[in-house]
Structure 1
Amino acid sequence: MFSYLLYVLALGVIGTGLIQKKKHRPKYKIIGFRDEVSIEETEGILSNHGIKIKKHLPLANACLCLVDEISAGFKSLTANDNIEFIEDDYIAMIQVIPQTADSLKIKSQTIPWGISKIEAPKAWKHCQGEGIKVGIIDTGIDQRHPDLKANIKVAHSVVEGTGADDDNGHGTHVAGTIAALDNDIGVVGVAPKAEIYSVKAFDNKGRGRVSDIIDALNWCIENKVHIINMSFGFSVNSQALERAIREVHKHNIIMVAAAGNSGGKDTVLYPAKYPEVIAVAASDNKDKAADFSSSGPEVNIIAPGVDISSTYINQEYRLLSGTSMACPHVVGACALLMSISGADADNVKNAVLSTARDIGLPEETQGAGLVDVSAAVSNIKKTKGGFFYE
């Protein structure tokens, strides 16, 4: 009996030790520094505390590091005056409604209802997105898709150990809404001559980490894109991402993001929630708000997001729904306006919002209203520096 009790106690001690070991397992953290601290100084500070850098995140003046939160080095680091914040490497999700729809059989080119609803075809005689570089931070892209490949200029991945191809379908669908070719097959995008710069930052399950998204934003800056599509969202604010978004804005780049699929009031996700970003809600073909569409004071505009037909992986086409699908309609609209005007990001944003059509929904649901490409283009005169309104 005594031996049995010793055996049970021993198991308890071992079990507790295993739990503690698992609980205190090192994890990745983003460590942000004060603005005046240089990259060289960050390396020295972290080295002095015994912390190794996984990668630098210059847009956020931060580093991704593998740390042991109970180590003396980490505890002393948290008290260092040069540290602005320490946070988890949060995970974002693509904003698409789960579905099991089969591939669409499209015999000849059709214009998706959302493209028609925002009156993009009426603008094509004036502009089709020529010369505008659109960055798509997503699950990658089907580089062999016949409705996309001529418009794909660069495809890149920032996810360790993966290529740039889409292994989910979401990124390819988003790309098609923005810039599927006008080529007599499949579908056509809002801006059929825009240039696609795809950067994979999300895995095959539609999950992406802050650190990879910041890398993708930096890649977009380096490749001098004009507009960035962000059909994803976080439920929590990341100080590192917020810093990166502010830096991107300084580069005269338009950023557009999905408002979120949480429904209800005051549910807009990040990065759509940031003031530098255009937050897009979703509507259906009857100009009603999608029941899943997030709402809140941060919503800037609404666009088609229910049963949207677009390109898909394996050279297919598919219907998808979500604010993920609404977002690229606005990105395409911005590409059209920028291609005809040559205006800067703020002027394009103002033009899109000021010409949106009121569809009778609360402001927190529709923002300025439904994006109206034709109305925006018709009120623009091509000038050297920006917009003139009639």
Structure 2
Amino acid sequence: MQQGGRSRRAVLQALGAGTMAVGLGAGTGAAGTGDGRGGGATARVNVGIRPGGADVVRDAAAIVHRTYAFDAMTATVPTGAVADLRARDDVRYVEPDAEVRVDDDGPLRTEDTQSTPYGIERVGADAVDATGDGIDVAVVDTGLDATHPDLLGRVGGSWTTVGSWVAGTAAPAGQDDHGHGTHVAGTIGATDDGSGVVGVAPGVTFHAVKALTASGTGYNADIARGIEMAAQKGWDVVNLSVETTAASGTRMLRDACNYARERGVVLVAAAGNDGPCSDCVAAPGSLSATVGVGATDRDDAVAGFSSTGPGVDIAAPGVDVRSTDLGGGYATMSGTSMATPHVTGAAALLRAAGTDPARTEERLLYTAEDIGHDVAETGAGLLDIPAALRR
């Protein structure tokens, strides 16, 4: 996407292979003591392939975990085979399948009383009649609590991409056992039912893609598969309130996002919570195929935790955001994860109004409100839904 006549990714910093979960040391995938072929250390890797490369990877691998429509594979291979694979013409890249995480300050549980969150008011969602009816929104996250009163009857389907190789026990397909995904969904489109909260687009249909475990962590491969799934199922908008933290190797996420974007999916992603910093926007928010979202507070100040630099396209409220929580409750949380669903909901409203994907992204940025911050901090400005929908 272009902004102000120049690429919004002009000086993109090289980012990591998939990011570490909190509390885990830097790694190169799942290192082990055996490869299933007689011993030796192994590494879990994501491999981009050209014609003929798939057979080479299968021959080298102890396990092939997953293949993708965007010419990539996830496999466990002997560590000694990594350099050989990278040197081949039929292999585009080999990168560690490290971890991704959600970022927030933890929930503060609140009473079940009807209210319109300040963020919904600040971006003008309460001032429009649009609901996003007929639009499919995928939440690639920790899952959704489909029994929550504000989401009940609105979850069209639930899936999981979390495999048994991820630490911890995978929940049933799409079921949230952490709370982050449920909180995100409420901001996107909680039902206006007289109790709890109201979301930006209360008419959308949600699709729960559980790509993170109960600890709020997962792998690049899980996120990439969720993005691929959204494209293959024809969903309209994907919310990616996740961030990577590894030092290099996000090419699989780039491939997955490009694959989905080319098929008409609008991808909205968090900038990350590494602030104060500069040039530190995390993937997938840093990628050219996504709309990267930074966070502001009630006073339109940039949130201290919000990552800044190339990749921030727009901003939305992300401090003390009240939304849905597990068990039918409500919670207040902070993070660029909480800012992102405001923009996702707005994208759904535009798509419901007949705006095509590319124009949707343009309208979000072109109509954003200038709140006086540098482009590196808030991109085009603060999300302004009435202006975006105005013809």
Paired with 2:134 and 2:387, the residues of 1 have a C-alpha distance of 22
Paired with 1:213 and 1:203, the residues of 2 have a C-alpha distance of 12
In the alignment, structure 1 residue 77 sits paired with structure 2 residue 93: no
Larger radius of gyration: 1
Paired with 2:227 and 2:352, the residues of 1 have a C-alpha distance of 22
Equivalent of 1:86, from 72, 80, 94? 94
CA 1:372/1:100 → structure 2, altered by over 3 Å: closer, same or farther? closer
Equivalent of 2:223, from 213, 230, 238? 213
Counterpart position of 1:261: 273
Name the SS of the counterpart of 1:296 in structure 2: coil
Paired with 1:358 and 1:20, the residues of 2 have a C-alpha distance of 51
Decide whether the 8 Å contact of 1:57 with 1:211 is kept in 2: no
Gaps in structure 1 of 5+ consecutive residues: 1-18, 381-390
Paired with 2:349 and 2:201, the residues of 1 have a C-alpha distance of 6
Paired with 1:50 and 1:366, the residues of 2 have a C-alpha distance of 44
CA 1:346/1:43 → structure 2, altered by over 3 Å: closer, same or farther? closer
Equivalent of 2:181, from 148, 168, 171? 171
- Report the Cα offset of residue 58 of structure 1: 2.3
Name the SS of the counterpart of 1:260 in structure 2: coil
In the alignment, structure 1 residue 57 sits paired with structure 2 residue 68: yes
CA 1:78/1:334 → structure 2, altered by over 3 Å: closer, same or farther? closer
Paired with 2:98 and 2:59, the residues of 1 have a C-alpha distance of 26
Counterpart position of 2:262: 250
Counterpart position of 2:18: none
CA 1:56/1:334 → structure 2, altered by over 3 Å: closer, same or farther? same
- Amino acid of the structure 1 residue aligned with 2:43: K
Equivalent of 2:150, from 147, 151, 155? 147
Paired with 1:118 and 1:21, the residues of 2 have a C-alpha distance of 52
Counterpart position of 2:43: 27
- Report the Cα offset of residue 130 of structure 1: 0.8
Counterpart position of 2:378: 366
Paired with 1:202 and 1:139, the residues of 2 have a C-alpha distance of 5
- Report the Cα offset of residue 143 of structure 1: 1.3
Decide whether the 8 Å contact of 2:124 with 2:386 is kept in 1: yes
Paired with 2:58 and 2:219, the residues of 1 have a C-alpha distance of 24
Name the SS of the counterpart of 1:149 in structure 2: coil
Gaps in structure 2 of 5+ consecutive residues: 1-30, 165-169
Decide whether the 8 Å contact of 1:151 with 1:179 is kept in 2: no
Counterpart position of 1:14: none
Paired with 1:111 and 1:68, the residues of 2 have a C-alpha distance of 54
Decide whether the 8 Å contact of 2:239 with 2:269 is kept in 1: yes
Q: Relative CO higher for 1 or 2, CA cutoff 8 Å, sep ≥ 6?
A: 2
Alignment of structure 1 residues 216-365 onto 2, 5 Å: 216-235=226-245, 236-263=248-275, 264-340=277-353, 342-365=354-377
- Amino acid of the structure 2 residue aligned with 1:303: A
Name the SS of the counterpart of 1:54 in structure 2: strand
Paired with 2:274 and 2:58, the residues of 1 have a C-alpha distance of 42
Alignment of structure 1 residues 91-102 onto 2, 5 Å: 91-97=99-105, 99=106, 101=108
Equivalent of 1:46, from 39, 57, 63? 57
- Amino acid of the structure 2 residue aligned with 1:376: A
Counterpart position of 1:104: 110
Paired with 2:60 and 2:384, the residues of 1 have a C-alpha distance of 55
In the alignment, structure 1 residue 189 sits paired with structure 2 residue 199: yes
- Report the Cα offset of residue 46 of structure 1: 2.9
When normalised by structure 2's length, the TM-score is 0.85
Identity %: 34
Aligned residue pairs, count: 347
- Amino acid of the structure 2 residue aligned with 1:89: D
Equivalent of 1:138, from 138, 141, 149? 141
- RMSD over aligned Cα atoms: 1.9
Paired with 2:63 and 2:181, the residues of 1 have a C-alpha distance of 33
Decide whether the 8 Å contact of 1:258 with 1:326 is kept in 2: yes
Decide whether the 8 Å contact of 1:95 with 1:258 is kept in 2: no
- Amino acid of the structure 2 residue aligned with 1:57: Y
Paired with 1:155 and 1:351, the residues of 2 have a C-alpha distance of 30
Paired with 1:345 and 1:326, the residues of 2 have a C-alpha distance of 20
Decide whether the 8 Å contact of 2:150 with 2:190 is kept in 1: yes
When normalised by structure 1's length, the TM-score is 0.85
Paired with 2:87 and 2:286, the residues of 1 have a C-alpha distance of 30
Decide whether the 8 Å contact of 1:90 with 1:238 is kept in 2: no
Decide whether the 8 Å contact of 1:49 with 1:74 is kept in 2: no
- Amino acid of the structure 2 residue aligned with 1:172: T
Name the SS of the counterpart of 1:343 in structure 2: coil
- Report the Cα offset of residue 50 of structure 1: 5.8
- Report the Cα offset of residue 213 of structure 1: 1.0
